[in-house]
């Protein structure tokens, strides 16, 4: 029996397969040579999510090739891309490695643009010569126009002899010369028009060569190493880039006799990321991506005392930064010459295209070039050569220096710019101060929004996403593009509001409740009643289930008349008291063919001018629906049948010494 069990155990052990050997990593060396040899993948932008100061871009593309380990070169990304946010996923493949490196583009690699640049420069020089010649001719024409006979004073003793024949010859000469100058100026104008047309064509041709991108000296190259399990895997590359923002906007149309309102929500999107978004799925978010994801934690708060206090001397200013930077290899003479040539050609390209090198607009409304302290995983870039795959080392003139310890990221403080009002980062301190208070360390400083019109501030810090109704195209530039979000029709109730003490006009107002699970963010609104444009206004942020008031403009069919009837009497024998009774009457007339509800706002005066002045309120008719509040305001809500008039009355008494004079403040 024991032998049988042993034989069965041996047979079971023999049937167990030996452990599989650990899979070895692919023998792939990442570097510039691999990047040049890698197969290029066309991955156009497919999905964009716009935040209050940046955008998340998603590119999608298929990688043709054989099954197995492959190196792929993805499209270049803008130079301001936040490197730590680059992510790559694949369907039908395993992502083994992703390398993203900022590089300095070589201007001469843009294409054969030298001839176009020379032609543009020659055309501009010719236009300048034409301008100079035209200015000379116009000066001579002005001088000849001012020439003419001058009367000689009668009391002049020795007047020169007058030759009438010479006059005629001089006049003919001046007329012929002026006609010749006018013809020559007209010919120069024609030549200038032809020259400007030729210059515009040459600039358009230069732009088609992507020469404008040469002025952006920084790009991000992306190399991916994958293990494909099928012949055509699908890649999704996502990353964050600053330079984009959006704001809500609305159009409201009151229809169906005032019983329904149609609200069309849209987003005004602006982006200067350096990439055109063509036919993309667009989403608008109120989130702040840079905000921390963990709840804050309180530090220890310790109280104590010390008998022996030792003062510590402190410097009047922060210590100066080191006078000398970290040593770097000296550039070669050939590299310096190449960098100088590239810089000269870049300047010529900028001048040919009309680009000001001093104002490289990398973000929307002057945001920072790249938000420092966020996504700097690869390091700084300088010079004009590539530094692909060099980790955290600085790239200086085409050679990688030693990796330097990176400084801790500074907190992101978003400040409103005085011109654009967008989100930007205020520069942080170079040194951290030690607080002399009861805290063990300064409280953490996270992102803060100072522009109250940005979606991140309007949503109160909550994350809401609004999807565009259709795919949209938003080119990079300084233009604002309106993208529709959705259209909804809701039931509405309308009434009229009036403050006759300020204006004898009734204004129509529609009240609607927000049935959405997301808030209606504050924003500008264009209001229509049917097909008639009423005016523009602004909506307030309204949460789910909240009541939204939509102003619809004045209505001439509701007429108002206001009267104030004062009556003053003196009471008392020895101490005289002046008592003034005020009766305010408001007539509300309805010229419509249907009954209307009108809310009329009136006001009691408040005391407090003097202890000797007393305000006594009397009954109001009809009874107010609201009030009086702390400001003395009361609201009458009256139903007025068609073609009838309703009168409202508000009475009060003011008592004060007879020698007192009332004033209002």
Query: What span, in angstroms and rounded, lies between the C-alpha atoms of 250 and 551?
Result: 13
Q: Comparing 364 with 596, which gets the higher pLDDT?
A: 596
Count structural domains, the chain: 1
pLDDT band at 378 (very low <50, low <70, confident <90, very high): very low
Instruction: Give DSSP secondary structure letters for 374-415.
Output: SS-SS--B-SSS--TT-TTEEEETTEEEEEPPPPPPPP--EE
Is it true that the peptide bond before 612 is cis, omega within 30 degrees of 0?
no
pLDDT for 516 equals 84
pLDDT band at 443 (very low <50, low <70, confident <90, very high): very low
Virtual torsion, Cα 278, 288, 219, 374, nearest 10 deg: -170
Question: In this structure, is residue 592 part of a structural domain?
Answer: yes
Looking at mean pLDDT, say which of 117-121, 456-460, 489-493, 576-580 comes out highest.
489-493
Question: In this structure, is residue 392 part of a structural domain?
Answer: no
Q: Comparing 561 with 7, which gets the higher pLDDT?
A: 561
Q: Which of 177-191, 482-496, 604-618 has the least mean pLDDT?
A: 604-618
The pair of three-digit structure tokens given for residue 161, joined into one six-digit string: 């002899």
Q: Comparing 412 with 121, which gets the higher pLDDT?
A: 121
pLDDT band at 435 (very low <50, low <70, confident <90, very high): very low
- 72-95: b (≥16 Cβ within 10 Å) or e: bbbbebbbbbbbebbebebebbee
Question: In this structure, is residue 571 part of a structural domain?
Answer: yes
Closest by CA to 73, choosing from 286, 235, 264, is 235
Q: What percentage of the chain reaches a pLDDT higher than 70?
A: 67
Question: In this structure, is residue 300 part of a structural domain?
Answer: no
CA separation, residue 275 to residues 216, 280, 360, 497 (Å): 12, 12, 14, 49
Query: In what helix (H) or strand (E) does residue 450 lie, and over which residues does it extend?
Result: none
Closest by CA to 27, choosing from 71, 60, 57, is 71
CA Rg, the chain, in Å? 39
pLDDT for 80 equals 87
pLDDT tens digits, 192-209: 889 888 888 887 777 665
Say yes or no to pLDDT of 604 above 70: yes
Mean model confidence pLDDT for the chain:
74
pLDDT for 632 equals 86
Residue 626 is given by DSSP the state: B
Query: In what helix (H) or strand (E) does residue 287 lie, and over which residues does it extend?
Result: none
pLDDT for 407 equals 39
pLDDT for 579 equals 84
Q: Which of 423-427, 442-446, 453-457, 499-503 has the least mean pLDDT?
A: 423-427
Q: Which of 44-48, 106-110, 162-166, 400-404 has the least mean pLDDT?
A: 400-404
Query: What span, in angstroms and rounded, lies between the C-alpha atoms of 162 and 158?
Result: 12
Say yes or no to pLDDT of 415 above 80: no
Question: In this structure, is residue 633 part of a structural domain?
Answer: yes
Average pLDDT over residues 31-55: 88
Question: In this structure, is residue 584 part of a structural domain?
Answer: yes
Which neighbouring-strand residues pair with 50? 55, 284
Average pLDDT over residues 430-456: 54
Say yes or no to pLDDT of 41 above 50: yes
Give the structural domain span for 598.
558-657
Say yes or no to pLDDT of 112 above 80: no
């Amino acid at each position: 029996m024991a032998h049988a069990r042993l034989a069965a155990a041996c047979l079971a052990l023999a049937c167990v397969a030996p452990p599989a050997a650990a899979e070895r990593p692919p023998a792939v060396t990442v570097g510039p040579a691999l990047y040049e040899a890698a197969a290029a993948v066309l991955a156009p932008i497919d999905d964009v999510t716009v935040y209050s100061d940046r955008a998340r871009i998603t590119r999608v593309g298929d990688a043709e090739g054989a099954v197995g380990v492959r190196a792929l070169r993805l499209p270049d990304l803008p130079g301001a891309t936040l490197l730590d946010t680059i992510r790559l996923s694949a369907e039908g493949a395993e992502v083994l490695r992703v390398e993203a490196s900022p590089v300095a583009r070589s201007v001469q690699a843009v294409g054969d643009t030298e001839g176009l640049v020379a032609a543009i420069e020659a055309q501009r020089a010719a236009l300048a010569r034409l301008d100079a010649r035209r200015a000379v001719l116009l000066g001579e024409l002005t001088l000849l126009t001012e020439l003419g006979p001058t009367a000689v004073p009668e009391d002049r003793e020795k007047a020169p002899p007058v030759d009438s024949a010479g006059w005629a010859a001089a006049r003919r000469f001046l007329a012929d010369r002026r006609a010749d100058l006018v013809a020559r100026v007209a010919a120069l104008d024609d030549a200038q028009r032809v020259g400007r047309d030729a210059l515009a064509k040459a600039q358009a041709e230069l732009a088609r060569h992507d020469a404008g991108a040469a002025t952006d000296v920084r790009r991000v190259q992306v190399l991916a190493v994958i293990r494909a399990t099928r012949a055509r895997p699908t890649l999704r590359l996502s990353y964050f880039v600053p330079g984009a923002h959006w704001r809500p906007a609305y159009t409201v149309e009151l229809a169906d006799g005032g019983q329904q309102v149609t609200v069309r929500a849209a987003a005004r999107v602006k982006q200067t990321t350096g990439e055109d978004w063509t036919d993309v799925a667009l989403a608008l978010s109120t989130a702040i991506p840079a905000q921390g994801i963990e709840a804050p934690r309180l530090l220890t708060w310790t109280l104590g005392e010390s008998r022996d206090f030792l003062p510590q001397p402190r410097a009047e200013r922060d210590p100066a930064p080191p006078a000398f930077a970290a040593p770097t290899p000296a550039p070669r003479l050939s590299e310096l010459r190449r960098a100088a040539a590239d810089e000269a050609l870049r300047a010529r390209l900028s001048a040919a295209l009309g680009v000001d090198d001093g104002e490289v607009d990398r973000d929307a409304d002057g945001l920072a070039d790249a938000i420092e302290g966020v996504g700097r995983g690869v390091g700084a870039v300088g010079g004009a050569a590539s530094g692909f795959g060099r980790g955290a080392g600085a790239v200086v003139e085409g050679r990688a220096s030693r990796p330097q310890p990176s400084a801790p990221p500074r907190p992101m403080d978003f400040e409103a710019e005085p011109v654009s009002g967008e989100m930007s980062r205020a520069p942080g301190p170079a040194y951290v101060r030690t607080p002399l208070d009861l805290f063990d360390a300064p409280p953490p400083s996270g992102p803060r929004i100072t522009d109250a019109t940005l979606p991140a501030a309007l949503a109160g810090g909550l994350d809401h996403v609004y999807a565009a109704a259709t795919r949209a195209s938003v080119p990079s530039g300084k233009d604002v593009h309106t993208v529709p979000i959705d259209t909804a029709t809701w039931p509405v109730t309308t009434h009229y509001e009036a403050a006759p003490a300020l204006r004898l006009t009734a204004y129509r107002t529609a009240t609607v409740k927000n049935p959405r699970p997301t808030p209606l963010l504050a924003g500008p609104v264009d209001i229509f009643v049917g097909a008639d444009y009423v005016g523009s206004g602004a909506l307030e942020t309204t949460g789910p289930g909240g009541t939204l008031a939509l102003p619809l403009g004045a209505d001439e069919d509701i007429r108002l008349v206001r009267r104030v009837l004062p009556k003053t009497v003196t009471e008392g024998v020895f101490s005289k008291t002046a008592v003034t009774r005020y009766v305010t009457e408001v007539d509300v007339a309805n010229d419509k063919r249907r009954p209307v509800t009108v809310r009329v706002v009136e006001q009691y005066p408040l005391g407090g001018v003097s202890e000797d002045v007393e305000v006594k309120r009397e009954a109001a008719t009809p009874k107010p629906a609201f009030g009086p509040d702390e400001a003395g305001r009361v609201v009458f809500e009256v139903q007025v049948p068609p073609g009838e008039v309703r009168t409202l009355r508000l009475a009060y008494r003011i008592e004060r010494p007879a020698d007192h004079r009332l004033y209002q403040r």
